[in-house]
Amino acid sequence: MKTMLRVNNVCKTFNPGTINEKIALNHVNLELEESDFVTVIGGNGAGKSTMLNAVAGVWPIDEGSIFIDETDVTGLPDYKRAYLIGRVFQDPMTGTAADMQIEENLALAARRGMKRGLSWNVKNADRQMFREKLATLGLGLEDRMQTKVGLLSGGQRQALTLLMATLQKPKILLLDEHTAALDPKTAKLVLDLTKEIVEENHLTTMMVTHNMRDAINIGNRLIMMDEGKVLLDVRGEEKKNLTVEDLMKKFEAASGEEFANDQALLSK
Amino acid sequence: MSLNFGNLLGALPGGIAQGIIWGFMALGVYITFRLLGTSDLTVDGSFTTGGAVTVMLVLAGVNPVVALLIAAIAGILAGTVTGFLHTVFDIPAILAGILTQFALYSINLAIMGMAANRGIPVGKYVLYVTSRNIPGSILAAGLLAAALIALLYWYFGTQHGSAMRATGCNQEMAKAQSININSMKVIGFAMANGFVALSGGLLSQYQGFADINMGRGAIVIGLAAVIIGEVLGNALLGKHLNFAGRLIFVVVGGIIYYFVIVIVLWLKLDSNYLKLLTAVVVAIFLAVPNLQAKSKTSFRLAGKRSMKSSREDA
């Protein structure tokens, strides 16, 4: 098996030397095999999103190194490593350009990591492919390709972002609580789409979630983070047999803390 | 005091010519204000730079069209400076523009040989755009405007131009799609100021001189043209207003702005108040969409509703 992501001893401290100093990542080590689907859970401030942002290259890390598909990306800013990465954000507004048409957004995503020249952005040859891909979402967007994305609902935009993130097969797909801002019904729809797309394309995926049940049911591996460290790493059969109660017990055992504070957040 | 309608009609063609000329500057403002989503105050300086470069080159015997081209390049350089100040040094865009504009005042004076204004002697040079031949000027400026609008329409439909629009619309999305937003912003500022300097160059040829203060308040006039054009375009075409239409209406906005000036002058109003009037008009048009939003939801309305319902309960 090929290692798709290697997070090697990564540290990140926010606001160092001030009263707000926060050690967000504390010597994190993590390796993802090709087509691993990892769910990431943990309390508020545990470092889940921070780890995703470190991999995405939102800011430089303080220590350690990050490899995606054997490429050292530690020194690359987000847009320079974006050719390897698909991203879906928590806020459905973040992943798409509201003032541009659906097909324009897709055309931009289709050239992720490629040179953008002076040829037409949306080509007729691509339209057919966009239409087919949009049809797989089952939202009727294939008949509204010239609609501005700003007119779509949050769920539709998130589904479109997911499509855009995977239009060019990414080496790793980063999902940062991408269903948290949606109503339960839409959240389920986007989550089902996520499973479909990931399975179909055998994508290596990291998904942060606040929903313990989703974390257990989806993917082949689960990690739990606390205070900037990976506390727990469960995979395969062991993961399948997990229950929410198990997770909470394991959390308490590993961190030596009461789970009560986070219980409300890590909804069952 | 009597108002002669013939005088007004006589003044309108000149208004059209100047309106088209300012329309080029408005196209530049449209690029930064509407497509990149920032306000670039470099333009007050780069407009004058365009005028100064053009006049000095024409005086040096350079072909007036070539002079305009070099003026545009000077504007592109000015915009690049603002772009670098903003992206490399993280200076807020508005402040970066003000810094460049401030520096350009000295540079513009130096270009004009430390004189506050320089004229082009009448009749000595062949100019395609000049107040001495208004119909010819309208034709030349109009054709150039049509060509440049076509160029912009094409560019913003390409992969590169679309990446720039995405940058202006949503930076996070742009970065996630591997777009270098900093280089996009620098190119955008450069392009916009190229248009602005071209506009300044055209105006200096039209009026026959460049003046160190010719660009003062240019940003407001540019915004006025953009906004007037948008309001008119939306009113006339509504949903059918496409990108090409928006660009055309930017120039139309410039023409209408100059019609208003012609009328104000014809009414023999004190032209000193023109800048005040322009500022008020722009402020109103910028405020209207926000006021419309507030008329639907605001603390004041919520407070009223609350008081009303508690009265009904009592």
Mean pLDDT of B107-131: 91
Check B166 against A119: CB less than 8 A apart. Answer: no
Q: Environment class of residue B37 by beta-carbon count within 10 Å: exposed (0-12), middle (13-18) or buried (19+)?
A: middle
Check A100 against B166: CB less than 8 A apart. Answer: yes
Contact (Cβ atoms closer than 8 angstroms) between residue A167 and residue A110: yes
Distance CA B12, CA B20 (A): 12
Q: Which of A76, A120, A121 to mutate to test the interface with B (most CBs of B within 10 A)?
A: A121
Distance CA B203, CA B216 (A): 14
Query: Which residues of A fall within a CB distance of 8 Å from B177?
Result: 82, 108-109, 111-112, 164
Q: Is A151 on the interface with B (CB under 8 A)?
A: no
Residue A264 vs residue A82, higher pLDDT: A82
pLDDT for position A255: 67
Q: How confident is the model at residue A256 (pLDDT cuts 50, 70, 90)?
A: low
Instruction: Give chain A's length.
Output: 268
pLDDT for position A262: 47
β-pair type (A3-14, A22-33): antiparallel
Q: A15-19, A27-31, B286-290, B307-311 — which is least confidently predicted?
A: B286-290
Residues of chain B with pLDDT > 70, as a percent, come to 99
Q: Write the residue in A56, A89, A109 that is nearest to B177 by C-beta.
A: A109
Q: Which of B153, B154, B167, B173 to mutate to test the interface with A (most CBs of A within 10 A)?
A: B173
Tokens of B145: 């405007």
- Per DSSP, the three-state class of B303 is helix
In angstroms, the separation between the Cα of residue A23 and the nearest Cα of chain B is 24
Q: Is B171 on the interface with A (CB under 8 A)?
A: no
ipTM of the complex, rounded to two decimals: 0.92
Q: Is B39 on the interface with A (CB under 8 A)?
A: no
pLDDT for position A268: 41
Q: What residues pair up with B279 in beta bridges, in sequence order?
A: none
Check A117 against B158: CB less than 8 A apart. Answer: yes
pLDDT for position B254: 95
Check B176 against A78: CB less than 8 A apart. Answer: yes
Q: Nearest to residue A10, comparing CAs of A43, A69, A78, A56?
A: A56
pLDDT for position A132: 95
Q: How confident is the model at residue A259 (pLDDT cuts 50, 70, 90)?
A: low
Fill in the amino acid letter for B206.
Y
Q: Nearest to residue B129, comparing CAs of B120, B141, B144?
A: B141
Q: Is A116 on the interface with B (CB under 8 A)?
A: yes
- Per DSSP, the three-state class of A151 is helix
Distance CA B18, CA B50 (A): 15
Query: Which residues of B fall within a CB distance of 8 Å from A82?
Result: 175-178
Mean pLDDT of A42-69: 94
Return mean pLDDT, chain A. 92
Fill in the amino acid letter for B57.
L
Helices (H), chain A: 48-56, 78-81, 102-110, 124-137, 154-167, 184-201, 212-217, 236-240, 244-255, 260-263
- H or E stretch including B197? helix B181-207
Based on its alpha-carbon atoms, the radius of gyration of chain B, rounded to whole angstroms, reads: 21
pLDDT for position A264: 43
Contact (Cβ atoms closer than 8 angstroms) between residue B190 and residue B73: no
How confident is the model over B250-286, as pLDDT tens digits?
999 999 998 888 888 888 888 788 888 888 888 888 8
Q: Is A126 on the interface with B (CB under 8 A)?
A: no
